[in-house]
Structures are given as structure tokens and as C-alpha cells.
Amino acid sequence: MRRTILDAMRNTLFVGAALLAGCAGTVHAPYPPIRADLSPAALERGAAIFHASCESCHRGGDAETASGAPLRELPSYMGRFYAANLTSHAEAGIGAMTDEALARAIRYAVSRDGRLMVMPSYGMGDADLAAVLGFMRSGHPLFTPDSVPAPPSKFSFFGGIGFRFITGNEPVERPASGIPVPPKAATREYGHYMAHDVYDCASCHTDGFSPRKTEGDDVFAGGMAFVDPEGRNVHSSNITFHETGLAHWTLEDFTRAVRDGLAPDGSVLRSPMPRFRGMDEVEARALYDYLRSVPLKKNAVKGARPRLTSASVRPDWVAEEQSEGDVPGAKTSEKGAEEEASAPPAPLAQTPAIPQATPEEDAHAGVTSSAPTTDSGAATRTGPGAPHKSAASEPPAKPDAANTGAPGPSTLASKPAPTRKPRPAAPKVDAPALFVKLGCASCHAPGARYHDRLAKVASRSEAELVRWVRNPEQFLPGTPMPTYAELIDEKTARALVRWVKAGGPATLTSTTR
């Protein structure tokens, strides 16, 4: 009996080793006859696709180039995987690769040495593929040569067996060339193309690893396993318009989420969801309408948010209200800084806090919540529906009975001083709580993936960092950091920046397990 069990174990290990060896074997995939398109329009298109679909995997940590990075988003039981070095270095990067070999890697997920890779294969049309190749050959700083090759990817024993079994160690079937790009328009056809072949929404939001999974009934129902920057297991959301998915999401909700990384309730979309910064209004409408047309799937993915109802309340998205002290690069007066620093703290709401405006900011927007006074002491409100009063409309003061001529010193001294309502202090931002509420801690708290990056901010100006916090895509188009410009105004961002520069994140609880 014991020998029988041992023989069975040996046979299992032998078969597993054979399958694992097959997983590492070469595959047959054609070389698409696609050449890089370096025209201005193609470079713009290629940059938008690369930033959205490629950069987040191939540029990691503090790297300024697409020099490769560990793929921590994949479950560790599968093995250890690394995105390739895509810089123009001849040996460590892609400098010596032909356009056809690069096109094969993108279209079939086959490495330069002919092995199937754990990466999406993109069925984008020939023109879009040529545009991506053109951007990669354009000399953009992302592709500055880096001589350090990415480490080789290695399957675990069971990960290799599973990958071999699921894929059959065969690339996806699609033609080497002749794939058209649909006319760009707000149509479901173009939305299908973006969802399946360019942004790869279907692959990430469908459970499993089979290259043919997006042809099944569960497409877009979510559930695929990933690992977030804090090492927690997460599953992709259901993005059908079922009640357990995107039901009641408006086009504005959807566009803000996929382009800026902010959900309708003001929360940050979970990593590793990328940001499609280059998506314009036509693409957003096409993708939104296409997803609304796919069959509804009931799948309440744990941890996915938010699920809206018809009565869900969105946060008050803050419009930019600039004054001289708020304009990026403008100097803030010492008095204003002192008032801002001495203001009392205000608690955060359940969603990221929207700071209340000061009376001056309200007046700039045309509404005041606290009334200023005129020289005569009468309060004057401005804004819609407010009665207008001026000094001229007030009844004249009665002359002094003892002096009907010009008022003298005694008359002036006898008049009561005008009463002014005290100016309410602007609420102070609770920076640590806001840092957590905005999702910054998941990437920048001690032990998190990008915590060390904060050490570089001390040498940068507040104005520059305020712009970075609110619009990071203007500095780094492929950044996974959300765009917070609509959610926090400049004064709030400045308070957050000061706390970060003072070393505040180092006081938070470590994310290291």
C-alpha cells in the first residue's frame, strides 16, 4: 500500500514536471508585418494607449523609464513575474528587437525567445498597433536606455501546471495583419473595440486566465484575483449594469472613474485598476454605451464599491476657486499662512472631506454664508436672492442735538463704534485623516510600495506639489495616482502637502505584514 502511494506521488510529480516544462517551451506565433508609425497623429495615439495599457506594468517604483518591474498584482502562488525592460537599450531592452517581434509580443503575448508570457494579448487594429510601436521608437524619455535587464519570470510548480492546462500553451488565435480599427465614434462598435482590444477591460473584469475567457457568458462580471499595493487579495469589479455592478452610474460617474480614478462616492478606485488619461469624450461615451448593452450579470464582488441606487448621493465636487494666493506659483501672504495654520481642525466625513469655503471664497463664487458689514454696521448679503443694501440706502444718522453744524470731536466720540461680525476662521484640514481617506496611505504609508518616493518631496516647492496632488497626470501621464482636482481645492491640497513635507506619513501605521 505504501509503495502504491509513493508510486502515485512520483507519477504525479513526473507529469507535473512535464507539464511545467511544456509551459516553458516555445510556441508558434506569426510575426505581424507591422512597422512603427512615427507620424504626429500616430505618436499621440500611441502615447495614449501606452500610458493607459502598458506603462503601469512596465514602469514601477521610482523608475523614470519603462525599464520593467515586478508584477506584484498577480497572486504569489502562481510564481514570480516581471514586466520586461522596454527601454531602447540594445541588450537589456528592446533596442535590438525588430518591429515585427515587438508586434508579436503585443498581439500574441509571446516573448522574444518564443515563450508564452503572463500578460494580456491585444487584438488592436494594425493602425493602432503601428502607433504604439511608433511611440516606443520615438525617443520619449520613458524609453531612455537602461542597461539593467528585468529578472526572468518563474512559475511555481502548481502555477506552471495550471497555466499550461488553462492555455494549452498556445497563443490566442487572431490574424497576423489586416485587423481594422473601427471608425472613431460614440458607437457600441467602437466601445466593443476599446473594451476588448485596446484597454483590455474584458480580460481584467472576467475571472480566470484562459485567453478565451472573454468569449464566454461571464465576460465583465468581475471576480479575477489580484493583489493590491498593501498585499491584500482583491477581485475585479462587476462592470455590467446589474444592481451588483454599475447600475445607476451616469456617464459622468463612469468617465471620472476610468479617467481620473475616482468613484462616484469620492473614493479611490482600487489598485491595480489603471487610469485611462487619454480617453476623450467620444471614447468614454462609446465605452459606456457598449457596457450598458452587454447582458447583465449578478455578481456581488466582495470589496467592490460603490454600488449605487437611484437615491445615492454624490459628493459635492469642488470647483476650482482661485484667488491670488491660490494660483499655482503665486506667493501666499504670511498673514494668510498664519491664519491657515491657526485655524481649528474640522472632522472628516465618511467620504473624502470637502473643505468648507471661507467667506472670501464664497464671495468669489457669488454666494456668502457669513455677512460682511458696511461702514454703518449694517450687514450686506450677496448672491442669488439676497436683498441689496448699500450705505446710500441706510437712513442718515441724526445730527447731535447740541451741535447742528459740522460734527466736532465730542460728537464723533459719542457715536458708537460700528459693530462687525467676527470673521470665522477657515477650518483646518485634518491632513492625516484626509491622507487615508483619499487612498494615499495604500501607496505611501510606511511599508507601502511607494513610501520611499515621498523622501523626494522635501526639496520641491509647495506650489509644484499642490499641482502634482491635484493633477498628477500633467507631470506623469501614466501615473496610477488619481486626479484629485475636482475633489480637493488648492488650499486643502496645500495643507496636505505641508503635512507630507513635514514627514507626516512616517507617523502612520506600517502596511508591512
Residues 404-434: tens digit of each pLDDT: 444 444 444 455 555 666 655 555 788 888 8
C-beta of residue 258 within 8 angstroms of C-beta of residue 276: yes
Of the candidates 262, 107, 282, the residue with the CA atom closest to the CA atom of residue 194: 282
385-403 pLDDT, tens per residue? 344 444 444 444 444 444 4
Helices (H), 114-187: 126-136, 157-167
Residues 159-176: pLDDT tens digits? Answer: 888 887 777 778 888 999
Q: Where are the domains of the chain?
A: 13-167, 188-293, 334-354+426-507
Q: Give the best-scoring range by mean pLDDT among 75-79, 88-92, 118-122, 269-273.
A: 88-92
Residue 374: pLDDT above 50? no
3-state helix, strand, coil in the chain (%, to 5): 35, 5, 55
CATH 1.10.3470 fits 188-293, yes or no: no
**476588448: which residue's cell?**
196
Q: Could you tell me the pLDDT band of residue 317, with boundaries at 50, 70 and 90?
A: low
Dist. CA 225–CA 119, nearest whole Å: 14
Cell of 305: 464599491
Grid look-up 494607449 returns 49
Res. 370 pLDDT band, cuts 50 70 90: very low
Nearest to 274 by CA among 478, 5, 419, 88: 478
Rounded distance between C-alpha atoms, residue 229 and residue 163, angstroms: 24
Are the CB atoms for 172 and 93 separated by under 8 Å? no
Asked if pLDDT for residue 365 goes beyond 70, the answer is no
